[in-house]
Structure 1
Amino acid sequence: MHEVLQPRVENPCLKRRCSHICLIGPDLKGSCWCPKELMLATDKLNCISFKDSSFLLIAFPTMVTKMFLSKLPYSAIADITKTKLISLTNVKPISSIDCIVQNMSLFFAVESGGFIAKSKFKENSLKDWKKIVPVEDSVTSVAVDWITGNIFWISTAKPQIQVATSDGLYKTILIGDGLYNPLCIAIHPPTGVLFFSKN
């Protein structure tokens, strides 16, 4: 466009103070953008790493997927928002997962008994997993206390809520008598409260 045809306005990006890239739109307003490996924070000014954003872990029968919850540009959705962390083709289907974000540990249980396992995840991949708690019964739900590291789970054939240490030791039954059709368990570590739902 010839210089004479360009509107004379102050550069809106000077006031915007974007951390990385500022683009001027047709309305002559500046908006902040980020390189492909970063995303725009909620302040709409600064770019942050994907690892610093909120995410959701989703368990499928034979894999665990991590999905970032922040709004992303359409071009990045296919390869960044859904990242397969682990594929478990050599074990029974996954029945439940939980994680400790502080040390990036993923805990998962498998259907039809067997075990509860643990793995570390870093960026978009999981390190080798290992069995930590042998379980004789099916597990419908697992929850981990991120303060103590204790692992809680619900077994089904004998409806019970059980607990063990993070290395699988000192297994004990917390609630056994009078528990019918328990479905899900959750822990609120700061208050030490355990929640569970029944069918």
Structure 2
Amino acid sequence: MTAKGDDDVSYSFLLPGQPPMRDTVEGWARWRRTRHDFAPAPRLDLAAWRAMSPRKRALHDLHRAATHANLPLLHTPMSREVAKLLHGRIRTNALKLKPSTRAGVMITGGGYQGKTETACEIAAAFEDSWLELHQHVNPDALPGARDLYAPVAYVQTPVTAKPKSTSKAVLNFYGAPTKNLDLPDLVHQVAASLNDHGTKALLLDFTDRP
């Protein structure tokens, strides 16, 4: 064990590597597992801050800046209503055994209002509980199959979203090939990928545009 001196402090708030890209199976899984790992800077009064060494003070200020850049979601009456509706809809669709169409939810609003983060947090919480329920094993997997288990798929749609480009974006989440596929084949492949990976919720994030 290495002894720490007065100025030896933790850099754990500086997360290593690039932020996870949620629009791939691996990126979504990494974000879901680590989304609550960030520890905010401790609150200090002015006297405690001034009592720090210059190096510790600089690192604390950097930690505070990182805290401001990674503020958690604030719960509001509107976000609670969205969470209640979306969580209930995802859970109901996941438990439905009939082959009928699953009802969706559309969240609309201006930019920078937390639509994406709210929906992703709700979907991630559902996936946490769904994976735990099934011991992280796809209960519908075919014997001998090795498809990744992905109860939630998050897809950023192209700015000019069309059926073909949107289908390709969904398949890109799973890392499935899309080359030389026409629209009927793409639609069929999307349905097969959702089924094979045990996906219960598909989040389509449409880019805000004027």
With normalisation by structure 2, the TM-score equals: 0.24
Highest Rg: 1 or 2?
1
TM-score (norm 1): 0.25
Structure with greater helix share of residues: 2
Bigger relative CO (Cα 8 Å, ≥ 6 apart): 2
Higher strand share: 1
